[in-house]
Structure 1
Amino acid sequence: MSGWKVRGGSNFILLILLVSSFTLSASDLTTDLMLGFNGSIKLGSRAPVSVSLINSGKEISGELKLELKQGSLFQQELYTVTYSRKIELPANSRKRYFFVLPFKSFTLPLRVSITSADQRIFEREIDLKQHLSREQLILVLSRRISLDFLKAFSAEPARVIYPHPEYLPESWNGYEGVDLLVLHDISLAHIRPVQVRAIEEWLYSGGRLVITGGVHILSRDNSPIKELMPVELLGIEVLDRPGALELPEKLPVVDSRLISGKALLKEEDTPLIVRQKRGKGFIFFMAFDSSEAPLSDWPGKVALWQQMLSQESTGLYPDPGIEEKRGDAELLLSGLVKNPELKYPPHTVLLAFLLGYLGLQLLLIGGPLLKKRRPALKWLLVMSLSFLFAASGYYLFNQLLFREETALISLAVIEPSWQQGLARVKGELALISSCNRDYQLKIANKDTAVTQWLPGHKLKPAYSFEVRRQSDTAVLIVRMGELRARYFRLDTVIDLPIGGKIQEGDGIVTLRVENRSSFTISGAVLSARGSIFKIGALPPGVTKITTGSPLTGPAADGTVVSALIYGSNLQGRGGLESGMKEAMLESLRSRELADIMIIGWIKEQVLPIETEGSFLKRQNLSLVYLPINSDEVF
């Protein structure tokens, strides 16, 4: 008995030591969270979240999770969106992890947790209401707080924020709530290439960037940002009373040579203000610093900054509640779900199987072969035939022909930038399954923004999903449960270089287009100021030249273009692919066409998605919608 007490005491002491060890490891972990930009998040937009972890104890291996509730607390219609990453923290180390979260509501807190060895070692809830901002967000990268005057120049209430470059987003969609980004009087030695890429992709998606002049801009430390500049920097030049600015005194400016874009203001051969279009966005370059003398009281400063702040809205993102609204995706995907090709099993195969079974049974019961046989033998044969058909039916329908129980359908609209190499991809993803199981979809681009689309359903926990970042992929984890279909919107920027030259003169349009991407653009057409010209297929690496007759002819609306792109492709085949094309045509018909643009479609999977297991159907289709800036027409 005493031995038992000793062992029990030893076990109790061991338990205390284990708990103490766990508590120590948790206390050795220090966390630092940065929400949005210096703690400011615009309502209804995505924003960056950085989590800094300092481990002053033993090695920690686990998972970092950020959980957001979506839906209505008042109506008790909620589901959870989880963003997670694996973490590895060696002893006495420090690491920072970046996320981009969609802050659609500020009613419920953000939950941050860390799990290691199936134990939760850290958990914290953050009240989002303290970080809410309804104002325009102007980000200024500067050594000095010298651009606060921009608040007075904005037509809407604005907030000027001076974030540290290290906390800039690593993904383009982290800038969703930003109205203007200004690079001013700062060394960008610590800005990482991935952050520069994020700014570049944000510009293609509709962002606005202002780069101001000064000695700092010539520093080697700013070499990453020089890739974004529309000018070649040559040095510092002192202008003697520049007439373009109506300034009665000398002004030091950055001497430069225009590479691309348009010089809005120049003094002889020196560009002073340059505007360059990047995709849907703009870059402004100013060869001077308007916050310093003699321009600090310059009358033209107000009009200059108001022009940059009042550019038409970027149109980057839909209304915060769009994921619950009816749109093209609902018309598209809900029709595809009902497609006969997705029903299990196909009616024709099932009918043939039943007719074969009934025919053989009738032959056994009433046929001449068994008329003189004993009834017991006859019924034994009938039962044996039933068992044989049951086994063969299981093998045929479940193991041989229809092992794949799921369909994955992806549709996208691709908006490339002429000559500039990047493209915005807005995709719709449907996962249709008859099984109650988890699915993991690995999306090749880790910066893809994933939003759930809920077609008229009431929100509930079954709609929860998780986005896990693994290396260079974003893993979407969903559970079907009692739901037959799950719908998601994907939004990202990819490399898709398409370029060439377009000339216009004497009523003739000549287009030289080169497809430098890895995709084949099928059924391409050129729509130019009221006329439509057929280009045809554009395989990778192929250059085509198209010459159009005088600019008269059919109105270049979406209906005419869609008929020319697809022609008879929609006839005859039917089925799932035809339904997808019909849906894409409907999207094209509803679009307002630009004066000059190229339209076509891509059947390959533009945004690679890997899945575990096999699928009953896997269909992809993308509409290419490429407006050409009038400044690029010669």
Structure 2
Amino acid sequence: MTHRPTSLLALLFLLLFAPFSAFAATVSLDIELGFYGHFQLHSWTPLTVLLENRGRAINGTLEVIVTSGSELLGDIQTMMYAMDVELPYNARKAAAFTMRFDSFTHPLRIRLRQGEETLVEQTFNLRDGYTTKPFVVVADEKVSPDALATFPDAVFSSNVRPRFLPDTWYGYDSVMLLIMNADMLSALNDHQFKALTAWLTQGGTLLITSGMNYGVLSESRFKELLPLQVLGSTPFQKIQAFQDFCGAALRGESPFLVTNVRISQAETVIAEQQTPILLKKSVGNGQIIFLTLDAQSPPFSRWPGRAAFWQKMIETYALPEKAAIPRIDREHLLAALFVHIPARLPTVSRMLALFICYLLVMKWLFWLFSKQAGRRIWFALAILLIISISAYASYSFAVKMLADNRQTWNGLLHLHLPQQRQVASGEYVLGLYAMQAAPYTLDFAGQSYPLTALFPKNAPRQATFPFRLYETPSGQQVSGELEKWSQVFFSLNAPVELPISAHLSENGDALTFQGSQLTRHAISSAYLTFGGNVYAVGDLSGEQVERLCQKITFDATTDFMPENATSAVAKTSIFSRLISGDNDSGVLQRDMQRELAAKLMSRLRDAYRERADVACLMGWMSEAFVEPKLQGERASAPSLTLLTWEIPIE
């Protein structure tokens, strides 16, 4: 009987806390990292978190925490990716993320939280999964190790089940070549299929192989990706054309069938007896290669020439090294954004009222000063005190007006369009500024981008979450907290489709520009650089544009913004900002455009000086291709869009 109180307390403890421990034990998680457990450092890669709930329903937040940097250098950075999840009783769920790994020394942390409670948390070692090689990914339910061993040593070959392929276009960042059978397309969900097509448009390479199931070639998804006409099948015992392509003919022990297809606007790379074997079609900046037989079945799967074939394919058609794009120096760009912060200004009426009050008080004091000969030292001290109080009040008033903005932002999108392409690579840099300590939330009109934080040179780095990427049904959100009078910069990649075309011809000391489809995508204040010279182009707009571009003198004093437009905007913008107190970004934009254009043109001229086949145009566009939205913003500057465009010389 002496143990009864103790037993009752133990029972009460179990009743109170056992449900929570049991609740936590009913949730489990696992991951599918990258491409069959491997990822490339400094690249974006997919991650699928597999959740299973064997207990009561859960409405929580799944958090993935990635750490990079070195304790020795003191530059530890932690990044959080998050997603809300609902797990009914006895349910399983796969949550797809796309994230960037810059280090393998820190473990990956994943946790599921409900409110303030952590239901389950696990860590995963990244050391065994990293590689520095680009990937060749074979998307199939199962591929033999022997087949993967036939790829060159310069790439990392991996077999990935279709349901673990990326659901964002930048999840293919490290993929050089994607290989899949035609029937694997139906295994992709809508997000994965959209990501695949976007990756192709932006420069990806997809090789599709064909089996004997012709039905999949007529499905709507396949027809959207690669419209073709199936003429039946053709039997072969041997395909000699492979001998010319990779040095080994393909032979079968018995006759095998090849799908006979026709693809509009496709190049026939290999043909045997007028039957296409390998075809290539451009899709935006990328390409689709169609192999009219099954690479996972005999005779191809037993072909001794497979290694030579894949070597030739990768050398010829896989993604080349990305050419360096001349861009504005990062430090100069961040400094320009910071200097041109958009903010509300005090109105003229308020400043005038303060000034009149100041004059009246000072006049009254000087009048008293002239009447009190014996107390002049005290009046002198009083005047100094009034001047100090007025200065402090003016400063406080200006600070308060700026602080009323709470948060504001500005940004620049630099698009680069290579010659003969219609998809420009874009880098968007955004500056977010806080006049008061407050949380912030940014979204991008339902779009998702590969986004990272930028740090100016010598800026202190803190081992905290600089921001959190939150995946929501309505798109990507970026959230965090800023201290008073602080700022943070972000960089994101934003490919943009630009269906414009042009060519140039030399005309004595001038260049003749001929362009088309510039009505929707108008360009203003454009200049060209060719052969070390700079040419004035002006504004370009219209379906068909022809312009004679004259050579100009380029030096440190060259002004790349028209004087008449600059002066008009400056006068009206300054006046309107002071009268209304609202943010008019005309002056800010013009000043920043003038500053950045001069710095970039110097780089472009050096980069294209030795090119005899192409010139580079630099100009500004009014379209907002990236549309950030800061919740609760008071003032912001419309983003600037800078275009550099490679134009061939005829």
Normalized against structure 2, the TM-score is what? Answer: 0.77
Q: CA deviation at 1:241?
A: 6.1
Q: CA deviation at 1:278?
A: 3.7
2:475 paired with 1:470:
no
Match of 1:169 among 160, 163, 166: 166
Measure, in 2, the Cα distance between the counterparts of 1:445 and 1:418: 30
Cα-to-partner distance string for 1:551-606 (whole Å, 9 max, x where unaligned): x9869x9x79xx99854488435642124323255335534567377764323432
Partner of 1:309: 314
Letter in 2 for 1:365: L
Partner of 2:87: 89
2:514 paired with 1:489:
no
Q: Secondary structure at the match of 1:17?
A: helix
Say if 1:169 and 1:198, in contact at 8 Å, map to a contact too: yes
> CA 1:28–1:143 in 2, change beyond 3 Å: closer, same or farther?
closer
Match of 1:263 among 236, 261, 268: 268
> CA 1:528–1:215 in 2, change beyond 3 Å: closer, same or farther?
farther
Q: CA deviation at 1:135?
A: 3.6
Q: CA deviation at 1:472?
A: 2.8
Measure, in 1, the Cα distance between the counterparts of 2:507 and 2:145: 49
> CA 1:293–1:94 in 2, change beyond 3 Å: closer, same or farther?
closer
Partner of 1:109: 107
Measure, in 2, the Cα distance between the counterparts of 1:148 and 1:564: 62
Partner of 2:329: 328
Q: CA deviation at 1:344?
A: 9.2
2:51 paired with 1:53:
yes
Letter in 2 for 1:409: N
2:28 paired with 1:21:
no
Measure, in 2, the Cα distance between the counterparts of 1:231 and 1:531: 46
> CA 1:317–1:514 in 2, change beyond 3 Å: closer, same or farther?
closer
Q: Secondary structure at the match of 2:293?
A: coil
Say if 2:69 and 2:76, in contact at 8 Å, map to a contact too: yes
Cα-to-partner distance string for 1:290-347 (whole Å, 9 max, x where unaligned): 565555676875554223312575556999xxxxxx97222112133234x6699789
2:423 paired with 1:426:
no
Q: How many residues align?
A: 604
Q: CA deviation at 1:510?
A: 8.9
Cα-to-partner distance string for 1:462-489 (whole Å, 9 max, x where unaligned): 5622111122322212322377221111
Measure, in 1, the Cα distance between the counterparts of 2:152 and 2:296: 16
Q: CA deviation at 1:127?
A: 1.2
Q: Secondary structure at the match of 2:543?
A: strand
Match of 2:627 among 566, 589, 608: 608
Letter in 1 for 2:590: S
Q: CA deviation at 1:116?
A: 0.8
2:449 paired with 1:442:
no
Say if 2:342 and 2:409, in contact at 8 Å, map to a contact too: no
Say if 1:143 and 1:185, in contact at 8 Å, map to a contact too: no
Say if 2:234 and 2:260, in contact at 8 Å, map to a contact too: yes
Q: CA deviation at 1:167?
A: 0.8
2:215 paired with 1:215:
no
Q: Secondary structure at the match of 1:254?
A: strand
Letter in 1 for 2:105: T
Q: Secondary structure at the match of 1:215?
A: coil
Match of 2:588 among 569, 572, 576: 576
> CA 1:337–1:400 in 2, change beyond 3 Å: closer, same or farther?
closer
Measure, in 2, the Cα distance between the counterparts of 1:116 and 1:205: 39
Measure, in 2, the Cα distance between the counterparts of 1:172 and 1:142: 19
Say if 2:238 and 2:250, in contact at 8 Å, map to a contact too: yes
> CA 1:240–1:31 in 2, change beyond 3 Å: closer, same or farther?
closer
> CA 1:584–1:230 in 2, change beyond 3 Å: closer, same or farther?
farther
Letter in 1 for 2:81: Y
Partner of 2:516: 513
> CA 1:88–1:289 in 2, change beyond 3 Å: closer, same or farther?
closer
Measure, in 2, the Cα distance between the counterparts of 1:370 and 1:476: 63
Q: Secondary structure at the match of 1:590?
A: helix
Q: Secondary structure at the match of 1:259?
A: coil
Cα-to-partner distance string for 1:214-248 (whole Å, 9 max, x where unaligned): 32465269653443337544442346866644559
Letter in 1 for 2:453: Q
Letter in 2 for 1:229: L
Letter in 2 for 1:367: W
Letter in 1 for 2:185: L
Deviates more, 1:282-291 or 1:97-106: 282-291
Say if 1:336 and 1:576, in contact at 8 Å, map to a contact too: no
Measure, in 2, the Cα distance between the counterparts of 1:54 and 1:16: 25
Q: CA deviation at 1:382?
A: 9.8
2:283 paired with 1:285:
no
> CA 1:135–1:196 in 2, change beyond 3 Å: closer, same or farther?
same
Cα-to-partner distance string for 1:41-72 (whole Å, 9 max, x where unaligned): 12222211111212222111111111112221
- Correspondences of 1:100-249 after superposition (within 5 Å): 100-143=98-141, 145=143, 148-149=146-147, 151-154=149-152, 156=154, 158-184=155-181, 186-216=183-213, 218-219=215-216, 223-229=220-226, 231-238=228-235, 244-245=241-242
Say if 1:100 and 1:171, in contact at 8 Å, map to a contact too: yes
Q: CA deviation at 1:403?
A: 1.9
Measure, in 2, the Cα distance between the counterparts of 1:408 and 1:155: 46
- Give structure 2 stretches of 5+ with no counterpart: 244-248, 571-586
Say if 1:406 and 1:615, in contact at 8 Å, map to a contact too: yes
Say if 1:206 and 1:281, in contact at 8 Å, map to a contact too: yes
Q: Secondary structure at the match of 2:73?
A: coil
Partner of 2:576: none
- Give structure 1 stretches of 5+ with no counterpart: 320-325
Match of 2:637 among 618, 621, 625: 618
Q: Secondary structure at the match of 2:289?
A: strand
Say if 2:503 and 2:515, in contact at 8 Å, map to a contact too: yes
> CA 1:167–1:290 in 2, change beyond 3 Å: closer, same or farther?
closer
Letter in 2 for 1:359: L
Measure, in 2, the Cα distance between the counterparts of 1:608 and 1:294: 52
User: How well do the aligned residues superpose, as a CA RMSD in angstroms?
Assistant: 4.9
Partner of 1:63: 61
